[in-house]
Structure 1
């Protein structure tokens, strides 16, 4: 039986998904620069005979050198952590925005690896054994741009990247070395460089004899190239010149091999490119008497969430443990650090972060587009039994411990009714009611969940529902419609919710249209809503109301918290823009006396210079 090894190159200190395939060996290229502990799933390239220290110049070629010198196999293959050869007979339509013919896939995980048969080592092995040489499909470099426009051949294409990938004369030095050290390659090298096709990215599979022949040629030339070219003044990108030259040298070898061996068993296959390869880490619950809390901070400036964090921290017991999970979409590490700083003095709180991008990208590969990630929480948090789900625009009115008094029983969802959505369903115009009943198949227009805060019985949902079935249901109902978060939750969980927990949430708004709609709700619900204003566990606010100057209880509570934050200036700038764009009490509609009072208040709270700058910004915005 053939011994096939496919070496998958990984970057030091970067945690990426790996594919479960017995043929694949995950190697950290440049392991000399690895500072984090290396898991058993990876092999470093700095053992035995190696050039790991040269990784910053040689790139993935340090893996190739290590495999050549240290590993025995019948076939040697090479891929990257995000680029893989498609070793099947199936052909995919290229969607490569760069025009290089790759197959772009949003995310790498078990699902997408299986979709593209990358986890099928048996069929992969059978495919490889049919050939002596497997290469990615050729790229036509004459169709690809360079900084000086499209170029007609390989030589001109790389010359067109002068001072980006290499200096212009570096390529000629490469040819001089080939002429001197490997004259049998010289005419082939010139012929290859004067045509336009190229096998890129150092991804290939070769039988042992051809692989050793390639490495002897390639690394001998590169070693001499290092001796002849002074790279001390090259920038970070140009310092990778040996890696780029390695690509050219391997292509020269492939070109020679194909031309001189007409009976060579050759296959050119598509190259799969995965955009998001970050490893998803399963979160396990901690021991606590308090229900875990999940915040969703989707599509907002992250600094707005800091007020919610501060409000939360003022309503906990330091003697008890808390488990907090933050769902986000690629927020920067700087903001995560800023969030973590708020919890430094709270050793009783564990904060975890889940980036939803990889999860959603997987669903998009299957043409499933839920609006709300919380629908999938039972499976995202597969080790949890229940969680409290909150939007980002929440203020805490009571201690979190009071959440534990809410009994789940066998209900899938515990929450309160969405008075705004119910008001819309009972409006004079019955258009929205018809949409709910006829299009969304919602049977009770007066029993609609408020998505801003609710408790999910995750274990019960996992027992009674299937995620793909849920998503397909949404996909079928939502065809040609963009469903809201609230609509999706109510479609999936109708008849499986207990929505009489009025004390959980009060929704605060100053928007004239929303106030009018709320009054359209049934009177008994409207009365319960009003009675709940001062005793609700949570207050959810319409963010636009925080830019107004009416001195409401919510405004005062919000800004009292905001003043304690280092990002206070960002909050002021944000809500001054909201004020100007929303039409809520803009300055040009206020009386002179009101303007004066507002000015004096601003001077009192923020100082004279800040008030002048703020006033100038307001005038510019209004004009």
Structure 2
């Protein structure tokens, strides 16, 4: 099985040494390219690179869907967030390899990160406390219009208290193609129905945020056989800052900030 795991990055950064499996891609390359960055650019071939400020890492997914040929399975991770072999190691050399992927895909159709749990609220309430409400409600209207058979799954996922986040996955090619068709049909319709001109730079990443909660809708509706595995953030996280902004959101103090 020939597999490529895209590593979405907006700048030059340390990458896994396994270049046969890991495929660095510069997202928003139309804006972010600088001399010396030798990653695959997402503004080549059929692309939506110019949408990167609002689609985030989805411009890498779209590029792979339209341009990456003769590959049996396609995945996406982030330059500082990877699927790993063991939870307690954070070194970049601890990322999964071809043998791990092949073993998992011999039993499952999709590999996903272990779920994030939101114990005190639902996925819907968590989203609208973190971001603008209108895009999520517009997404529901679009599903009714384009994919009405998914509405029940959408509503059930929104009422859950856990979700697969971060737009991380590895999928067999058939499922990847089906997922991309469904996802971009929905997001581009929502894109045409809302106005985000007055959103902050952070909140303009709205379609990346929406896609995170849509993943489980697609998984649930299609009864996709999947396996959740460990992931790890490589490097330092600003935990105290995130907790501070979480407090502000819950008590509606100050501007909205992302939780991702």
TM range, smaller chain: 0.7 to 0.9
Asked whether the equivalents of residues 104 and 111 of structure 2 are also in contact (C-alpha less than 8 Å), the reply is no
How far residue 182 of structure 1 moved from its aligned partner, in angstroms, is 0.5
What is the alpha-carbon distance in structure 2 between the residues aligned to residue 38 and residue 67 of structure 1? 22
Equivalent position to 2:128, from 159, 164, 172: 159
Partner of 1:466: none
Distance in 1 between residues matched to 2:107 and 2:40, nearest whole Å: 28
Which among 157, 168, 178 is matched to residue 213 of structure 1?
178
Q: Structure 1 residue aligned with 2:229, among 241, 245, 269? A: 269
Q: Are positions 1:113 and 2:82 aligned together?
A: no
What RMSD in Å do the two structures reach over aligned CA positions? 1.9
**Which residue matches 1:56?**
53
- Aligned in 2, Cα 1:169/1:268: closer, same or farther, shift over 3 Å? same
Partner of 2:134: 169
1-side partners of 2:133 and 2:33: how far apart?
A: 36
Deviation at 1:50, TM superposition (A): 0.3
Give TM-score, length-normalised by structure 1.
0.36
Query: How many angstroms does 1:269 deviate by?
Result: 0.2
Query: Residues 65 and 35 from structure 1, CA distance in 2 versus in 1: closer, same or farther, beyond 3 angstroms?
Result: closer
2:31 alignment partner, one of 26, 33, 41: 33
The residue number in structure 2 matching 1:79 is 77
Does 1:65 pair with 2:79? no
- Within 5 Å, give how 1:545-584 maps onto structure 2: none
SS at match of 1:236: coil
CA deviations 1:501-560 (Å, max 9, x no partner) are xxxxxxxxxxxxxxxxxxxxxxxxxxxxxxxxxxxxxxxxxxxxxxxxxxxxxxxxxxxx
Provide the C-alpha distance between the structure 1 equivalents of 2:14 and 2:63, rounded to a whole number of angstroms.
Answer: 22
The 4+ residue runs of structure 1 with deviation greater than 3 A are: 120-130
- Structure 1: 5+ residue runs without aligned partners? 94-102, 106-111, 143-149, 278-623
Pairing 1:3-22 to 2, within 5 Å after superposition: 3-11=2-10, 14-21=11-18, 22=20
* Cα distance, 1:39 vs structure 2: 3.8
Separation (CA, whole Å) in 1 of partners of 2:50 and 2:34: 17
| 1:247 maps to 2:212 | yes
Task: Specify the SS of the correspondent of 1:160.
Answer: helix
- 1:411-461 per-residue CA deviation (whole Å, 9 max, x = no partner) reads xxxxxxxxxxxxxxxxxxxxxxxxxxxxxxxxxxxxxxxxxxxxxxxxxxx
- Tell me the residue number matched to 1:358: none
1:127-526 equivalences under 5 Å are 127-142=104-119, 150-151=120-121, 153-161=122-130, 165=131, 167-257=132-222, 260=223, 264=225, 266-275=226-235
Contact 2:140-2:154 at 8 Å conserved across structures = yes
Kept after mapping to 1: 8 A contact 2:153/2:217: yes
- Identify if the C-alpha distance between structure 1 residues 208 and 121 changes in structure 2 by more than 3 Å, giving closer, same or farther: closer
Higher relative contact order (CA 8 A, sep 6+): 2
Cα distance in 2 between the residues matched to 1:138 and 1:70: 30
Higher-Rg structure is 1
1:251 deviates by: 2.3
User: Retained in 1: the 8 A contact 2:112–2:228?
Assistant: yes
Q: C-alpha offsets along residues 258-314 of structure 1, whole Å, 9 cap, x if unaligned?
A: xx35xx2x211011110159xxxxxxxxxxxxxxxxxxxxxxxxxxxxxxxxxxxxx
In structure 1, the residue corresponding to 2:234 is in which secondary structure? strand
- Deviations 1:324-353 (Å, cap 9, x if unpaired)? xxxxxxxxxxxxxxxxxxxxxxxxxxxxxx
Quote the Cα distance in structure 2 between the aligned partners of 1:71 and 1:80: 18
> How many Å separate the matches in 2 of 1:158 and 1:199?
14
SS in 1 for 2:235: strand
- The DSSP-based 3-state class of the residue aligned with 1:206 is strand
Aligned-pair CA distance for 1:169? 2.5
Structure 1 residue 20, shift from structure 2 partner: 1.2
Whole-angstrom distance in 2 between the partners of 1:117 and 1:244: 25
How far off its partner does 1:254 sit? Answer: 1.8
CA deviations over 1:187-216 (Å, ceiling 9, x no partner): 111111111110000001111111111111
